[in-house]
Structure 1
Amino acid sequence: MPGRILVIDDEPQITRVLRAALSAQSFDVRTANDPEEGLRIFAEWPPDLVITDLMMPGMSGVEVCRAIRTTSSTPILVLSVRDHERSKIEALDSGADDYVTKPFNIQELQARVRAHMRRAPERTESAIVTGDFVIDASAHSIEVAGKHIHLTPKEFELLLHLARHAGKVITHRALLTAVWGAQSAHQPEYLRVFVGQLRKKLEAETGKQFIQTEPWVGYRFVPEGFNDKGE
C-alpha cells in the first residue's frame, strides 16, 4: 500500500508533523510550504495522494485543486481551519476528494490517508455490464452507451458502489462509509457534491438520468436510465 504523498501547507510545523507521521507508515513524503512550489513538485514527482491546506497566501487550496484537476485525477485531501459547510462544498467542487478540519487528530488523518491509498479497485474484479453501462473496476474505466466517461477517483468509486447494488436504495450513511470511510458517515455534503457531479457527466453524454434520489434515505442507481419524469 505505501506510496508517494505530497503535502502542501504554509505552516512549517504542519508539514514537519505530517512528514514524520506519514513517513513512519512507510510512505514516501515530500512537502512544500507554498502552493507554487507544491505544483512544481507535483509535476516533477507525481504523487499518489496530495494533502493541501485550504487557506494559503497567494494561491488558495481551492486553486491548487483546480490546477491539479486540469491534468490529473490524483486523490486530494484538503486541510482547513474552516468547518463551514460552504467551505467544504467549495473544496469538493474544485476537485478535492476529502476534507479534514484543523486541528486534527493525527491518527484520524493517518486512517483517512490509508483509506485513500488502499481504495484502488481490486485487479481481479470482473467488469460490471448492466443497462447502458460497462464499468471495468480493474482498468478504472467506464463506458455509458458506448461512450467513455472520465471520472475522478471518488466519482468512480461512488458510481462503482452504486452499480454493485443496482436497483437498490443505498442509504446516505452506507454510501459515505463505503466510499469515504466510517469517519465521514456524517458528512452529507460529500454526497450532494459528488452525486451532482456524476449526474452532470453521465447526463451530458446520454441525456438520461441514472441516479434517483430517495428523499431523506439515500440514492438508487438505475443503469437503464430514466427521463426527468421518472419514466
Structure 2
Amino acid sequence: MTSLLEKQINILVVDDEESIVEFIKMGLEAEGFTVHTAFDGNEAISLARELNPHIVILDIMLPGINGYEVCSEIKRSIKTSIIMLTARDDIDDRVKGLNLGADDYMVKPFSFKELLARINARLRNSFPDLTNIISVGDFNIDDGAHEISFHGNHLELTPTEYNLLKYLLINNGLVLSKSTILEKVWGFDFSGEVNIVEVYIRYLRDKIGDKEHNIIRTVRGVGYKVVI
C-alpha cells in the first residue's frame, strides 16, 4: 500500500445517494483519510471553501446545482483535485467535466480499489509536498534527491529513467497509454519515435529485475501499468 499520510489529508465526498457516500466514507476513513460529506451542490461549494480539501469526489447529478457547476465554482475558489462520478459512460460528459477543471473521471458502478488508486495518483501529482518520500510497495521515491530505491537498494537511473519510473509508480494500478507516457515524461515537443517508451520500459525492467513483467505489466494494445 502507498504511504502518503505523513500529513492529514482531507477529502470531500459529494453525492445525493447516501449509500454511496457512506460506502466511500467508510473505505477512505479506514485508509486514514479525513472525510467530509455533502449531499447537494450548494453545501458542497460552501464546505469546499471552508475546508479547502485536497480531493473532492463529485457526482454530476445533484439536486439544485449540478456537478459541472459545482466543479467550475470550486476550481475558481480553491486549489484541489476533483474526481467526477457519473452513471453515464458518455464521452461528451467526460470532456465537459475535464474542460471545467475536473482532474479525473469515474463511471458508476466503480470499485473502491480503483477509486483509491486514482485518489493517490491525484495526491502525488497535485500535492507532492505532503511527504518527502513516497513509498509505493517496495519502492521509495525521494523526489528531493531525485532517487528511487527498490527493496532498500538504490537504483542507478538516468534522468529519463527516473522520470518514467516515478510516473509509473505514482500511477500504480492505472493503465497508461504510450502517448500519455510520452507527453508526461518526454514532453509535448518530443518528435522521436513512439517505441522509445518500449525501449525505456525494457531498461527499467532490467534494473529492477522484473524478468517476468510482474511489476511493470504490458496491457496489450493500450500501454503499461505498474502493479505493486
Fold conserved (TM > 0.5)? yes
Structure 2 gaps, min length 5: 134-142, 145-158, 196-228
Q: 1:214 to 1:179 in 2, by over 3 A?
A: farther
1:185 to 163, 171, 176: 176
Query: 1:217 and 1:86 mapped to 2: Cα distance?
Result: 28
For residues 57-206 of structure 1, the aligned pairs below 5 Å read 57-119=63-125, 120-121=127-128, 177=168, 181-185=172-176
What residue is the counterpart of 2:39 in the other structure? 33
Q: How many residue pairs were aligned?
A: 162
1:212 to 185, 189, 204: 189
Tell me the CA shift for residue 117 of structure 1: 2.4
- Identity value in percent: 32
Which residue identity is paired with 2:128? P
Structure 1 gaps, min length 5: 126-136, 139-163, 196-209, 219-231
| 3-state SS of 1:70 partner | helix
Tell me the CA shift for residue 4 of structure 1: 0.4
TM-score for both structures, normalised by structure 2: 0.58
Q: 1:91 to 1:42 in 2, by over 3 A?
A: same
| 3-state SS of 2:77 partner | coil
Query: In the TM superposition, what whole-angstrom CA distance separates every residue of 1:12-45 from its partner, at most 9, and x where no partner exists?
Result: 1111111101011111101011111111111121
Q: Is the 8 A contact 1:7 1:32 kept in 2?
A: yes
TM-score for both structures, normalised by structure 1: 0.57
1:17 to 23, 26, 38: 23
Tell me the CA shift for residue 118 of structure 1: 3.4
What residue is the counterpart of 2:154 in the other structure? none
Query: 1:214 and 1:16 mapped to 2: Cα distance?
Result: 48
Which residue identity is paired with 1:104? F
Tell me the CA shift for residue 112 of structure 1: 1.6
Query: In the TM superposition, what whole-angstrom CA distance separates every residue of 1:162-182 from its partner, at most 9, and x where no partner exists?
Result: xx75xxxx9xxx998577554
Q: Is the 8 A contact 1:176 1:187 kept in 2?
A: no
Is 1:7 matched up with 2:2? no
